[in-house]
Amino acid sequence: MAPDLHTGRYLLKPGTKLRLNEWDPADTSGFDGDKDDGEKAIDSIMKKLDPLQELLYAEHQHKVLVVLQGMDASGKDGTIRRVFEGVNPEGVRVAHFGKPSAEDLDHDYLWRAHKEVPGKGEIVIFNRSHYESVLVERVHGLVPRQIWSRRYRQITDFERMLNEEGTTVLKFFLHMSKKEQAKRLKDRLKDPTKQWKFSFLDYDERPYWKEYTEAYEEAIEKTTTDEAPWYVVPSDHAWFRDLVVAQRILTGLQGLDMKYPKLDRSKPETEG
């Protein structure tokens, strides 16, 4: 039997002041095991996740939105691959949010996020998300304070509406140290199989680490709610990051009390 994982310690409760320097990005104390134990635990979780995702798709009632945010190289892509590698792709979709297009800029900043939210029976993973509008745009001064500062309320209202309409919202901040980021960026540059992911823009953003940290702290603090709380996931160890995310998604699906639809025995209508 795999050791227990206690994800509750990574939950930020509403009203809590967030100081990321008080959260250890290399922490694995929520799990009573090493990396090998962790990988086995992830495999065990995935075996449970697969049938639950199929049940979610078959029942066609609930919707699940997974939000992944983090500094460059914090492991958003890796988490998606590891956690969802065994599920049926028919009911899982990944939405990427990069630089807004001209069409995006013609609409309000939530427009491109809203059109990607899950439908009934679907899990959608936001690889970056609507939170970019209170991160990048704030750090680089693309919009004035009076605009980005009111977006916390708007984002909270948006997520509350999704929740009230039947969407389970699971939000994860992949908390990584600056030292670990430097190591991962160098690894990308040296590894031919990872060079396609490398961008000098990631290095250009490193001088803004302090500003991004402050932006994340305020965004997470002001938008963690009972309906859509944030989990601050230690991410210096990729296996532990994936384990925390996988366990929380599994717990979320298990809490939906889903049932397979009963066989429809009504005769199909025939044409005249």
Domain range summary for the chain, segments of one domain joined by +? 22-254
Q: Classify burial at 214, counting beta carbons within 10 Å of its beta carbon; exposed 0-12, middle 13-18, buried 19 or more.
A: middle
Confidence of residue 165 (pLDDT cuts 50, 70, 90): very high
- C-alpha 146/C-alpha 136 separation (Å) is 15
Q: Which of 49-53, 70-74, 190-194, 220-224 has the lowest mean pLDDT?
A: 190-194
pLDDT of residue 54: 96
Q: Is the pLDDT of residue 267 over 90?
A: no
Quick check: 254 pLDDT over 80?
A: yes
Residue labelled with tokens 């959608």: 124
Whose tokens are 């997520």? That residue is: 159
Q: Measure the CA–CA gap between 223 and 221, rounded to whole angstroms.
A: 6
- The DSSP output letter for 31 is B
Please give the Cα distance from 155 to 148 (Å, whole number): 11
Contact between residue 258 and residue 166 where contact means Cβ atoms under 8 Å apart: no
Residue type, 231: Y
User: Exposure pattern of 31-53 as b/e (b: 16+ CB <10 Å)?
Assistant: bebeeeebbebbeebbeebeebb
Is residue 148 within 8 A of residue 131, CB to CB? The reply is no
CATH 3.40.50.300 fits 22-254, yes or no: yes
Mean residue pLDDT across the chain: 93
Structure token digits, residue 59? 């029942």
Instruction: With 0.85 as the threshold, say if the pTM is over it.
Output: yes
Asked if 64 and 250 touch (Cβ cutoff 8 Å), the reply is no
Cα gap 181→210, rounded to integer Å: 14
Interacting residues of 249 by C-beta distance below 8 A, sequence separation 6+: 49, 64, 66, 83, 170
| Residue predicted with more confidence, 152 or 194 | 152
Q: How many CB atoms lie within 10 A of CB 220?
A: 23
- pLDDT tier for residue 93 given thresholds of 50, 70 and 90: very high
